[in-house]
Amino acid sequence: MFIAANWKMNLDKKSINFFIEHLRDYKFSDDVNVCIFPPTIYINFLNELINNLPISIGGQNCHNLSFGAYTGEVSAASLKEFGCEYVILGHSERRIYNKETNQHIQKCAELAIETNLKPIICVGENLSVRENGKAINFIKKQIIECLPEKFEEIIIAYEPIWSIGTGKIPHKTEIKEMHKNIIEIVNSKTKKNVKVLYGGSVNENNIEEILSVNNVCGVLVGGASLKIKDFLAIYSSAVKYLDKIHNIED
Ligand code: PEP
């Protein structure tokens, strides 16, 4: 189980300090892994703060080339050098505001893998695509075009655009259908390991329902990952949910 906290362009040194201080004595579960994606400028700061806490760090994006005259960009190698384990690629905000294409995202994913970063490739349809019944085909094209040529393991985050930051989440059956399709689409190209996260308005009230859907391996959380109280409520609900499942299985 994986919880990705995407802080986007939020928080500062003081609030990051506050957040991490509240995790110092927290009893983490081995069953739920956490990765925080801070703004790039705070990666090193966060890395030094988290010390021995069982938290990974990731970049919110990386460039598709290793180095060069690309003002304002960040390379996969720099993320790696400063302790990142993961990188989010193709977030809908970057697709919309930075006009990132599937082809660009594929190149970034390939470079990330070469650099030993684990890419989390985001896909997701807008409302009109969903309402026109074209969501599955839309996601299929995104995945086929974004998937790197070679990988051992890939993480896809299904993030319907109409759900991000809106408080609306798809029906359980819609998430179930989409996650199943995503796995089938990846497996139609390769039998390598694929994990699918759900992202879009996840909070402490809906996390259990979302995690109960087949093939949901974790969540990507935006707004509700900014405050330590909300984040811990999500984390502890995920742990409780897993405990419940294990008890039933036993
Ligand atoms: C996101 O932007 O990836 C996201 C899931 O945001 P939120 O949780 O705020 O909907």
pLDDT digits (tens, 9 = 90+) for 165-191: 999 999 999 999 999 999 999 999 888
Q: What is the DSSP letter of 10?
A: -
Residue nearest atom 8 in ligand 1 by C-alpha distance: 222
User: What pLDDT is attached to residue 35?
Assistant: 98
Q: Which residues pair with 57 in a beta bridge?
A: 36
Sign of CA dihedral 142, 101, 104, 223: negative
Specify the pTM: 0.97
Instruction: Report the SS3 class of residue 139.
Output: helix
CA of 200 to the centre of ligand 1 (A): 5
Q: Is 211 in the pocket of ligand 1 (CB under 6 A)?
A: no
All residue ranges of the chain with pLDDT < 50 are none
160 lines ligand 1 (CB under 6 A): no
Q: Is 186 helix (H, G, I), strand (E, B) or coil?
A: helix
pLDDT of residue 109: 98
119 lines ligand 1 (CB under 6 A): no
Q: 132 burial class (0-12, 13-18, 19+ CB within 10 angstroms)?
A: exposed
pLDDT at 137: 98
- CB 60 less than 6 A from any atom of ligand 1: no
Cα gap 100→98, rounded to integer Å: 5
Q: Is 219 close to ligand 1, i.e. is its CB under 6 Å away?
A: no
Token code pair at residue 66: 């290793």
Nearest atom within ligand 1 for CA of residue 8: 2
Distance between Cα 92 and ligand 1 center (Å): 10
Choose among 247, 241, 245, 233: nearest CA to 26.
Answer: 233
Q: Which pLDDT belongs to residue 250?
A: 72
DSSP 8-state code for residue 165? T
Distance 93 CA to ligand 1 centre (A): 10
Radius of gyration for the alpha carbons in the chain, expressed in angstroms and rounded: 17
